[in-house]
């Protein structure tokens, strides 16, 4: 065997394959655009740095020391005060409505204890539904309190720490990341499967040559679309139920809400996802195209959902993109029902966007079906 001839044949074969890949304009776009988009999304959205943390202040001391501590929080560049509470009854609504990630409660004897040289407790109540964000916020807040303590010791000669933080974590008392991640996967994993199934449904029929048989059957395009939508919805709900069972019975994460509310919200969520998947399926000529389009879409949906990093930490343009991401609302809905025990009625800020997304994607999918069948 001539080595030179073998190398020449291999080079010719590689050249042919590269020409096949690069000559098609659609392939050139798919080689460049997804990489650019995903690099930008990862670079801007996938940040674990806490840059924006909302907090509410309940200052019952109203002294110079408590005012100084609050001023340090406001000037930190990390914490933004969204509410000044009047009494302890205002704490729960601020946390439940996600108005504040943390509530800083300064008791009535704070200044008096400091002036007497005794440690003064400050209670910090955090929304621990996102345990990673809550831990980051507590770490930043502890650093600010340490700075306050160092200055107070220099000015007053106090030996021990003047201010002591008393932490309360709501909805996840141990700040266990599993309590945040597994309920989120109830929506996230079912989304991946539902999107892939619906994206492949019509493309598979076209590639296998059975789509023409479906067209001559006594079905309207709308009936075909509904028939393609219902099975993935059922599969997505079944997968969500399985992950729920694993979370509750294997990992012992207590379920605080209503099963009826949870699955009603998940039904709305999977319907919105099915609209996206059917639109992809109607646009795709082959299964390979459908899988590629779905894969390109899944990564940004996951990154811009708040699953890995908080939406508030993302640049403002990225936050605008999250507003049309159904997974963002699905994860928040599941967290609030699973951990908080909320009903479906107070979750209008999740259900209304999901309804709006369904109202756009399902008619779009129906129009694409009619257009592609014409």
One domain, residues 80 and 214: no
Proportion of the chain above pLDDT 70, given as a percent: 85
pLDDT for res 21: 61
How many domains does the structure of the chain reveal?
2
Proportion of the chain above pLDDT 90, given as a percent: 20
| Domain-ending residue, one of 142, 170, 198 | 170
Q: Is there a contact between 61 and 109 (Cβ–Cβ < 8 Å)?
A: yes
CA 211 – CA 184 distance, rounded (Å): 36
Q: Assess whether pLDDT exceeds 90 at residue 105.
A: yes
- What would the two tokens of residue 128 be? 């621990």
Residue of 357, 305, 353 whose CA lies nearest to 328:
305
Residue 360 within a domain:
yes
Residue of 189, 204, 74 whose CA lies nearest to 141:
74
Q: Is there a contact between 298 and 195 (Cβ–Cβ < 8 Å)?
A: yes
Domain containing residue 78: CATH number: 3.40.1710.10
Distance of CA 217 to the CA centre of its chain: 42
Residue 204 within a domain:
yes
CB atoms under 10 Å from CB of 51, counted, come to 12
The bridge status of strand 163-170 relative to strand 120-127 is parallel
One domain, residues 150 and 242: no
- Mean pLDDT, residues 275-303 taken together: 83
Residue 11 within a domain:
no
CA 55 – CA 312 distance, rounded (Å): 13
| Domain-ending residue, one of 114, 135, 170 | 170
One domain, residues 236 and 290: yes
Domain hosting residue 114, numbered range: 53-170
- What would the two tokens of residue 166 be? 């008393």
| Domain-ending residue, one of 119, 142, 170 | 170
Distances, alpha carbon 3 to alpha carbons 6, 7, 8, 13, in Å: 5, 6, 9, 15
pLDDT for res 254: 92
One domain, residues 227 and 161: no
pLDDT for res 36: 66
- Mean pLDDT, residues 62-89 taken together: 89
Residue 5 within a domain:
no
Residue 12 within a domain:
no
One domain, residues 233 and 364: yes
Q: Is there a contact between 229 and 278 (Cβ–Cβ < 8 Å)?
A: yes
What is the DSSP code (8-state) at residue 336?
A: I
Convert the pLDDT of each residue in 164-191 to its tens digit: 888 888 888 888 888 888 898 899 888 9
């Amino acid at each position: 065997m001539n080595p030179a001839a073998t190398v020449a044949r291999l080079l010719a074969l590689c050249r042919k394959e590269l020409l096949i890949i690069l000559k098609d304009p659609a392939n050139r776009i798919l080689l460049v655009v997804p990489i650019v988009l995903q690099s930008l999304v990862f670079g801007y959205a996938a940040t674990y740095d806490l840059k924006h943390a909302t907090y509410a202040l309940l200052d019952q001391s109203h002294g110079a020391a408590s005012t100084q501590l609050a001023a340090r929080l406001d000037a930190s560049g990390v914490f933004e005060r969204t509410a000044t509470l009047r009494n302890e009854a205002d704490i729960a609504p601020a946390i439940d409505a996600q108005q504040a990630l943390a509530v800083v409660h300064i008791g009535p004897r704070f200044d008096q204890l400091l002036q007497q040289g005794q440690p003064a407790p400050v209670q910090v109540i955090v929304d621990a539904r996102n345990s990673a964000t809550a831990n980051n916020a507590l770490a930043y807040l502890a650093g600010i309190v340490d700075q306050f303590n160092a200055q107070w010791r220099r000015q007053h000669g106090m030996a021990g720490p003047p201010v002591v933080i008393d932490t309360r974590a709501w909805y996840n008392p141990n700040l266990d990341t599993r309590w945040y991640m597994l309920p989120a996967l109830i929506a996230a994993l079912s989304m991946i499967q539902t999107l892939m199934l619906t994206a492949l449904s019509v493309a598979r029929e076209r590639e296998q040559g059975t789509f023409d048989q479906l067209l001559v059957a006594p079905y309207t395009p709308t009936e075909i679309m509904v028939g393609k939508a219902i099975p993935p919805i059922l599969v997505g709900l079944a997968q969500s139920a399985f992950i729920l069972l694993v979370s509750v019975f294997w990992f012992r994460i207590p379920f605080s809400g209503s099963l009826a509310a949870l699955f009603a919200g998940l039904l709305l969520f999977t319907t919105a996802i099915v609209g996206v998947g059917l639109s992809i399926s109607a646009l795709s000529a082959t299964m390979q195209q459908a899988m590629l389009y779905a894969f390109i879409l899944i990564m940004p949906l996951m990154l811009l959902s708040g699953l890995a990093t908080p939406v508030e930490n993302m640049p403002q343009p990225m936050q605008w993109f999250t507003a049309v991401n159904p997974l963002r609302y699905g994860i928040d809905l599941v967290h609030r029902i699973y951990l908080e025990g909320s009903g479906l009625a107070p979750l209008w800020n999740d259900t209304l966007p999901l309804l709006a997304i369904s109202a756009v994607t399902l008619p779009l999918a129906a129009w694409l079906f009619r257009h592609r069948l014409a």
